Structure 1
Amino acid sequence: MSKKREKLLPLYEELLRFDEDIFERTEAFEYPEYIESNLVHTFRDYQEDALRFFHHSQTSELFDYRDINHVLFNMATGSGKTDLMAGLILYLFKEHNYQNFLFIVNTKSVLNKTIGNLLNHTTDKYLYSKSIEIDGNRISFQQVKKFPKKPRENTIYIKLDTVQAVANDIYTVKENSMGAGDYAKNRVVVLGDEAHHYSASTKKEKEDEQSWESAINTILHAREDNLLLEFTATIDLEDKNIYEKYKNKIIYRYTLDRFIADGYSKNIRRIQTSNSDLDNMLNTVLLSQYRKLFAREKHNVEIKPVILFKSQRIGDSNDSEQYFNKLIASLTPAYLTEFITRQMQMDIIEASETLELTFEYFISKINEFPQIIREIKRDFGANRVINANDSGQKGILEKGQYEVLNSLESPTNIYQVIFAVAKLTEGWDVLNLHDIVRISDPAKTTGSKKATNSEAQLIGRGARYNPFKMDNRKSFTRRFEEGSQSSLLLETLHYHTINEPQYLKNLVDSLDAMNLPTGEDTKNPLLNVKVKPAFKSSNAWKSGKIYYNEAVTVTNEYYDGLDKYGINNKKDIVIPWITAAQEVKYSDFVREDYSQQHNVIVEIDKRYLNKAMNRLSFYHFENLKTFLPKLSSRDEFYGEKWLNLSQRTIYARVTRSMAKENLKPEEKLKILEIYLQEVAQKIQLGYQKVKGTNRFVGYPIKDYIQDYRKRIPQYDTGKETVYTVTQNVKNYDIKAPFFVYNSAVVNLLEKELIERVSERVSELEEEYDEVYLIRMDENMHRESRKRDDLKLYQFDSKANNIHYSGFQPDFILYLENSDFYMQIFIEPKGTNLLEKDQWKEDVLTFISQHEGEIIIDEHISGMKIKGVKFYTKNDGRKTINQIGELALGKRFKGLSME
């Protein structure tokens, strides 16, 4: 089925183009310091982009004729729209002198949440600093029912209300309320959250004189300088009337698939079983408890995972709550033992890898079941359960339990279980929701598309990432490699569904339509990779070692200039820039010899540098300071020890027909950005707490080469837009004794290398008693600190490009006889990564070429440590030849002498 064609959004697209060359028309926009210092959260890149785009629309002469006073920010659920609103309030106050802000929502739940976000500094979710200062002045926020006739200096007035109440005040004259005339007295900014609710008249194709939409328009048009800023994650551009209304008002887009791909959400997995509701309840309780214990035992992290039980009807939900409370209250060690045994006999582990991990954990603790039962009864007892159902209300936050439901992450909030009928309503931004359990529907109406659309939205909202603290640091993006045990348990939302074919089909369709990547837990099982018993009988296993060079600590004092990051800041810069952007006739193109190139000077001034660095978030000073601890200011970064551009020239490599005058301003900016991005990458790679030495340390093979489990990520929804298969990774059985594992989970290039080595094993065995190829898979020690030991570090002090980060070559060829021991590092590499990873190949070949400089931590006669060039497709770089020369002192038989 073909993808729907993207709708054209002229304003947004024009802003995208304008953002490329804005410094030619006005000063480059720098993220305001007063926003950074007065907000609790640092803006993410896309939030900065949204703010900058709005700034362009309000300040650039290019947009003056349009008088852009109504805009829409279309940003994914969980992407921090309220943070953006908080920043925009400060921006409009400081830059455009607005003091009156009307915040409208369609539910009281969102209203209450926003009051906490913007006005209640005692709550955990207050978005501003306790003391707000701009230009040395203390700024106060005041909540009002009416805007004052004479506003005080340094005061921001906020009226927060539901759109229903605001519309009623517009259409019904009442005392102490704001009618249409009041919005004409002093200019106001309207902030419309969940704006997709405010277009009823547009959808009907006729104006309802007393609709919410009409009331909002009345306020907007009461003065020419009133503004309307709308925000929503949901905009139905397929509706022709909605599209016409907003096509020139959407000022910024950050869609759900981008949000997830950028790592700002949990992963999502579906557990599909035919269990009864009670069995699903207990399975989920055990999984939730295991999550908490795993976080504590493996990562020294305290989390409180929350479970939501979702029903179709209030009566079913209330009944389920009673069943749940009885289940927990009557739980005994004997019943838990029988339950887990029964579940495993029913092959429930085939339905969920995560449940298998859960059951394995509790079976290993069977002697501790009395204590475990006490903890479960404490954590999931009736006093820890919220019933959020109310037949008179639409949303789960409307029942007067707002404070409890919106502070579930708080250590002082004891609640861990929620029973509800309504979907997660707008405004519920709980982060530590890890399990949603779909209660079965006795009426069997669950196959409807409407129901699954609602549940897809529920899953999308529940996938918000939980930025738990680990190693004294919070992360707002996923930390772990997908598929690891830590990822499954700490960074995944599990949706426990009923096993009904039509329902599942519709659910998958609904998830796909949202570009929401999910997959069945069972679709992607962990593969067992085991060390062969024969290898465990070998001398290599019993007494052999694998060698990696030692790393030593690097202090911040070391990083006092760009040269310490492996960056040459003395020589001129040449950036390839053969561009097709220059329009030429066909005849000119034919005459042009594109093999003839030359360098032209790229003439820039400080405006270009400021603009480029403002656009690249890496160069915002707070971030730059993270990687350059000795840096005192961004101006210093321009100086001799750092960028040093005043002493160097930037050249663009172009065709002979181009002169420096042909470079357009936006091209110059792009060229500078290319260089700065290269520098940023090198700084990040170069800033490490350790650096390599020439001393190699041996690690016993039997301690490090172990059975492990590996998962191949797979998705059945959202796959076209977010998760694409970049490598065809499969599991291959390998019976030949030279390969130490019973199978290899590898891509096609890695499989080809194994086959090429296999072809030469017989020749190697003529020289060596033991010949083994070891796959050094990163999964072997994913949950262990041992993983950091097995890395190679650059130790060539004269290398052109310095890299302090270590890496793990994919394979080691282990060779041993009575006289010699040899270890050869081998790394397969796709041609698209050759240039980027050249430094790794340099490390491998340096080892072979500088044998005399290597110090081994113990005296071993006849020992050699080697590395070879990257192995590429069809051995295009003759890597196998090199292995033969290193191992045998000659080429393998039958290989070309070329």
Structure 2
Amino acid sequence: MAKKKKQLPLPLYDEVKQLNESLFNEQFDWETPEYITNNMVHTFRYYQNAALRFFHYSQVAEAFRFRNVNHVLFNMATGSGKTDLMAGLILYLFQEHGYQNFLFLVNTNGVLNKTIDNLTNMSSEKYLYTPQIEIDGERIEIRQVETFPKTQSKNTIYLKLATVQRVASDIYTQKENAMGAEDYARDKMVILGDEAHHYSASTKSEKETEQSWEKAISTILHANEENRLLEFTATIDLENKNVYEKYKDKVLYRYALDRFIQDKYSKNVKRIQSSNTDVDNMLNVILLSEYRRRYALEEHRIYMKPVIMFKSQRIDASNEAHEQFNRLVETLTVESLKSFLDRQAQIASEDDSETLALAHDYYRNHETLSDVVRDIKRELAPTRIINANDTSQSGILEKGHYEALNSLESPSNLYRVIFAVARLTEGWDVLNLFDIVRLSDDPKTKGTKATTMSEAQLIGRGARYYPFLLEGERSFTRRFDDDSKDSLILETIHYHTINEPQYLKNLVSALDEMNLPTGEDKKNPLLDVKVKPAFKRTNVWKYGRIYYNETVEVADNYYDSLEKYGVDTTNDVVIPYISSLQEVGYKDTKVHEDYSNAYNVAVSFDRRYLQKVMNRLCFYHFSNLKRYIPLLKSREEFLEERWLNIYNRTIYVTVPQTMDGEVLTPTEKLNILEQYFIDVSKQIKAGYSKERGTGKFIGYPIKEYIANYRKRVPNYDTGRAFMQDDPQTVKRYELKEDFFVYDSAIINLTEKQLIDRIAERVKELEKVYSDVYLIRMDENMHRESAKNNKLKLHQFGTGHDEVHLAGFQPDFILYLQNTDYFIQIFIEPKGRNIEEQQWKEDLLMYINEHEAEIIFEDEMQDVKIKGVKFYTMNDGRGSIRQIGEIALGRLFKGLSVRD
């Protein structure tokens, strides 16, 4: 196992972290201002809010009163939204500190063009601001300039975007109409340095040239004592002594790639290692890519265009591979495809790729392969291939295909395949890249450390999550269980590698050095988890029961109105203006706005708008609507009085006082309606179920429902230095203590910590209860037996904030019994997505607060059903304290009220 690197001290980062946690920090309650949230298309994720807050502390906190923190670095993962953060920082520095001049530095023209789209091109789909920026009732203009004007207009942000090469040249050569050092001294300004690892020439070589980029940037920074330098990079080599000395007191915030992946903002990463020829690897990746497209369409009704990248070491080899690929597709026949599948079956082994095996099985069981061959020839035709090779060593976006490469997610962009050698890929933020194929080039070629590190960085870029629509919803985090079939096909990027030992050793080393969690995509055996023989000899096993509330069947005719789903169809609708326009806002954040100086405007629309919105959202396709509303006869009926009653109600949009709500554009109206229809779809899905809970609890015999089961351990062999301490990392643990009923548990660190904390309290519990057992209710146990689907907790009674009829299975039951009574405590550990699943904790609390509503099938024994708050790492919500209060009527010994 890779050893975890010793963390080098970063004084500024550590100081600001402590400030962030301190109640004595006068700025501790500072939050991202509304003038940022209201003026940006994307809502900040938690770590972007934290990065902005850390910068704010460095500029205004009492601890920094006598220090000029004018140079900081944000070390944030590729794909984590650094440009969004920069856009927010521009507004922050303009509003809070009066900066109007911003110099945005990049390393390549390709990244420069992308950034111009991000920050200045309002017609671009990639533009990060709302169409009209408004702060304190004033319109703010962002004006792109070549030089900062001597006389500056009010409410104007001047943005100079340039490559560092050009800016350095201007500084040293003093060309006419170019900005020299004195121009950067006239008015205070901010430098935003993207991909900052390129700007440290002297720190890498130890010998600074007189005209280095680094010196030019330093000259600009020190031209005016109020100038600021904000650097951003995903790659900083702090192991390099000189780099560390430069940046140790400048790193302000860190959000590494490993955390980005663990937080599910990315695809998973799997490696497919093969000894096949390049041609066979090409056909395998063609079949896998087409399987992705077909699976998405056939299983989930998703249109997905997965992109393949073929990566070579040499341009001539890449061009030759391109020709091979075209010949392969052109000459493919049903017979040659069958022959290939037969050949792959003959050489198959247990170490083969699980995902490729799924694809091969799909084609072997396909009724006719003629349509498969026809689709391959259409989808992967020469006109859908980009050859991004030239004789330069520049980045992929420099090669004359900027528009095509930068819009690969667009439905109108038909490209599916890219051939490239490009070493530098900064700025290429394609999201639907699902397969990268490393071609062999030359059998004698072994990947050097530099080569494999470049490839590891390419994998990191390709791991950006693709936010496909599913049932009308777009998510920016992974939705499926890792290593599940859906996850492997729709949420995993595969890196197809050559099976050359030295190359693989260097690649794995590079991935480990990046702390990038990846695993070989091979068949992952199921592990047995067994009920302990000693537990099977107890009376609890023989006679004990576990209790869940009974459900009653919900007939189709029950759902005769949308009120049954929790949808209000009587009152008018009010949609906040800003929220309604954020159609691609991140799922796990909410926009908080102040509407104290706002008013409501009625949105006028006709049938065309409604049809457009319902066509946009897959949820409202009639075949899907009918699944959730069995009595529905047509989409048009859905809009009418019996259901949504949309024509008899008014939809209002809440707009700022300074905005003329009477001039809403058609696009704005569509987005407002779409937001409302998305909210309704969520309510319908949450409120629909074939069964609903009651207050009657049924006791299920433990010996019939607690059973052996099998489960996989996620297969990662890189990034383990980080993962070994991550709360969500899943491992197998042997558990010999008698109180735990299984011989082992395949769980994450949060769940393991819960087990350990209960283990510490068992002796204290045993003084009151003769039987103390902790039961892990794993979902895999349900899959072993259909009857175990009964073991779910459902909402019952009234007064729930959200309707969720489907129910859920709390992960643990603490079973406590003595001669007088029996207590069953539901416990649910939770490490992420707490806000989205708050309804589960609310249900656990509802049980405690509504004991009078609970009845039992068997009144022979005094039974108590209880729940506790989510158990989080280090028991942040006081679950253990609650268990003590429920089980003992007091706190556990050694716990304080604060615990």
Alpha-carbon distance in structure 1 between the residues aligned to 2:132 and 2:458: 36
Partner of 1:290: 291
Which of residues 596, 599, 621 is equivalent to 2:592?
A: 621
Q: Secondary structure at the match of 1:229?
A: strand
Partner of 2:354: 353
Does 1:463 find its partner at 2:451?
no
Deviation at 1:844, TM superposition (A): 10
Partner of 1:503: 503
Alpha-carbon distance in structure 1 between the residues aligned to 2:694 and 2:509: 55
Aligned residues of 1:120 and 1:126 also touching (Cα < 8 A)? yes
Q: Secondary structure at the match of 1:73?
A: strand
Does 1:555 find its partner at 2:566?
yes
Amino acid at match of 2:34: E
- The C-alpha deviation readout for 1:55-88, integer Å capped at 9, x for no partner, is 1111223213211111111111111000000111
Deviation at 1:293, TM superposition (A): 1.3
Alpha-carbon distance in structure 1 between the residues aligned to 2:154 and 2:729: 57
Q: Which moved more, 1:322-331 or 1:434-443?
A: 434-443
Amino acid at match of 1:508: V
Alpha-carbon distance in structure 2 between the residues aligned to 1:208 and 1:728: 51
Alpha-carbon distance in structure 1 between the residues aligned to 2:98 and 2:432: 39
Alpha-carbon distance in structure 2 between the residues aligned to 1:847 and 1:390: 71
Where do 1:670-749 residues align within 5 Å? Answer: 689=687, 692-694=693-695, 711-722=712-723, 729=732
Deviation at 1:831, TM superposition (A): 11
Partner of 2:392: 392
Aligned residues of 2:697 and 2:854 also touching (Cα < 8 A)? no
Deviation at 1:279, TM superposition (A): 0.8
Partner of 2:230: 229
Change (3 A) 1:696 1:781: same
Amino acid at match of 2:592: F
Alpha-carbon distance in structure 1 between the residues aligned to 2:92 and 2:264: 28
Change (3 A) 1:811 1:379: same
Alpha-carbon distance in structure 2 between the residues aligned to 1:846 and 1:219: 64
Q: Secondary structure at the match of 1:66?
A: coil
Deviation at 1:777, TM superposition (A): 3.7
Partner of 2:141: 140
Identity %: 55
Deviation at 1:348, TM superposition (A): 6.0
Change (3 A) 1:226 1:788: farther
Q: Secondary structure at the match of 2:295?
A: helix
Change (3 A) 1:28 1:794: closer
- The C-alpha deviation readout for 1:660-708, integer Å capped at 9, x for no partner, is xxxxxxxxxxxxxxxxxxxxxxxx99x964773247999xxxxx99x99
Does 1:492 find its partner at 2:464?
no
Q: Secondary structure at the match of 1:375?
A: helix
Q: Secondary structure at the match of 2:508?
A: helix
Change (3 A) 1:242 1:811: closer
Aligned residues of 1:308 and 1:419 also touching (Cα < 8 A)? yes
Alpha-carbon distance in structure 2 between the residues aligned to 1:692 and 1:388: 58
Change (3 A) 1:803 1:406: closer
Does 1:183 find its partner at 2:184?
yes
Alpha-carbon distance in structure 2 between the residues aligned to 1:841 and 1:446: 57
Deviation at 1:195, TM superposition (A): 0.6
Does 1:162 find its partner at 2:133?
no
Amino acid at match of 2:417: V
Where do 1:308-347 residues align within 5 Å? Answer: 308-347=309-348
Alpha-carbon distance in structure 1 between the residues aligned to 2:396 and 2:414: 18
Alpha-carbon distance in structure 1 between the residues aligned to 2:799 and 2:155: 58
Structure number with greater Rg is 1
Where do 1:629-668 residues align within 5 Å? Answer: none
Aligned residues of 1:237 and 1:243 also touching (Cα < 8 A)? yes
Change (3 A) 1:697 1:471: farther
Aligned residues of 2:810 and 2:828 also touching (Cα < 8 A)? no
Q: Which moved more, 1:1-10 or 1:93-102?
A: 1-10
Amino acid at match of 1:481: D
Deviation at 1:827, TM superposition (A): 9.9
Partner of 1:55: 56
Aligned residues of 2:174 and 2:180 also touching (Cα < 8 A)? yes
Deviation at 1:730, TM superposition (A): 9.4
Aligned residues of 2:516 and 2:719 also touching (Cα < 8 A)? yes
Alpha-carbon distance in structure 2 between the residues aligned to 1:726 and 1:415: 37
Alpha-carbon distance in structure 2 between the residues aligned to 1:157 and 1:497: 46
Q: Secondary structure at the match of 1:692?
A: strand
Alpha-carbon distance in structure 1 between the residues aligned to 2:108 and 2:804: 53
Aligned residues of 1:104 and 1:162 also touching (Cα < 8 A)? yes
Amino acid at match of 1:208: T
Q: Secondary structure at the match of 2:223?
A: coil
- The C-alpha deviation readout for 1:339-358, integer Å capped at 9, x for no partner, is 11211121067411101111
Aligned residues of 2:730 and 2:746 also touching (Cα < 8 A)? no
Change (3 A) 1:121 1:217: same
Partner of 1:112: 113
Amino acid at match of 2:496: H
Q: Secondary structure at the match of 2:496?
A: strand
Where do 1:115-134 residues align within 5 Å? Answer: 115-134=116-135
Q: Secondary structure at the match of 2:720?
A: coil
- The C-alpha deviation readout for 1:130-184, integer Å capped at 9, x for no partner, is 2221122222221111111112222211111110100110011211111111111
Aligned residues of 2:104 and 2:194 also touching (Cα < 8 A)? yes
Change (3 A) 1:302 1:781: farther
Change (3 A) 1:158 1:828: closer
Q: Secondary structure at the match of 1:117?
A: helix
Deviation at 1:825, TM superposition (A): 14
- State the TM-score, normalized to the length of structure 2: 0.67
Q: Secondary structure at the match of 2:113?
A: helix
Aligned residues of 1:778 and 1:787 also touching (Cα < 8 A)? no
Change (3 A) 1:830 1:299: closer
- The C-alpha deviation readout for 1:753-789, integer Å capped at 9, x for no partner, is xxxxxxxxxxxxxxxxxxxx9998458779x9x9999
Aligned residues of 2:19 and 2:28 also touching (Cα < 8 A)? no
Aligned residues of 1:549 and 1:694 also touching (Cα < 8 A)? no
Alpha-carbon distance in structure 1 between the residues aligned to 2:780 and 2:44: 33
Amino acid at match of 1:202: T
Alpha-carbon distance in structure 2 between the residues aligned to 1:70 and 1:867: 60
Q: Which moved more, 1:381-390 or 1:348-357?
A: 348-357
Change (3 A) 1:362 1:140: same
Partner of 2:516: 516
Q: Secondary structure at the match of 2:126?
A: coil
Q: Secondary structure at the match of 2:522?
A: helix
Does 1:444 find its partner at 2:455?
no
Partner of 1:272: 273
Deviation at 1:102, TM superposition (A): 0.7
Partner of 1:672: none
Does 1:89 find its partner at 2:87?
no
Aligned residues of 1:396 and 1:425 also touching (Cα < 8 A)? yes
Partner of 1:200: 201
Alpha-carbon distance in structure 2 between the residues aligned to 1:190 and 1:726: 39
Deviation at 1:444, TM superposition (A): 2.0
Aligned residues of 2:37 and 2:591 also touching (Cα < 8 A)? no
Aligned residues of 2:777 and 2:809 also touching (Cα < 8 A)? no
Number of residues paired by the alignment? 685
Change (3 A) 1:43 1:810: closer
Amino acid at match of 1:514: M
Q: Which moved more, 1:134-143 or 1:288-297?
A: 134-143
Deviation at 1:203, TM superposition (A): 2.9
Alpha-carbon distance in structure 2 between the residues aligned to 1:179 and 1:847: 73
Aligned residues of 1:144 and 1:159 also touching (Cα < 8 A)? yes
Change (3 A) 1:527 1:826: farther
Change (3 A) 1:363 1:62: same
Deviation at 1:365, TM superposition (A): 1.6
Q: Secondary structure at the match of 1:156?
A: strand
Partner of 2:405: 405
Aligned residues of 1:845 and 1:867 also touching (Cα < 8 A)? no
Deviation at 1:832, TM superposition (A): 11
Deviation at 1:261, TM superposition (A): 1.2
Q: CA RMSD in A?
A: 4.8
Amino acid at match of 2:315: I
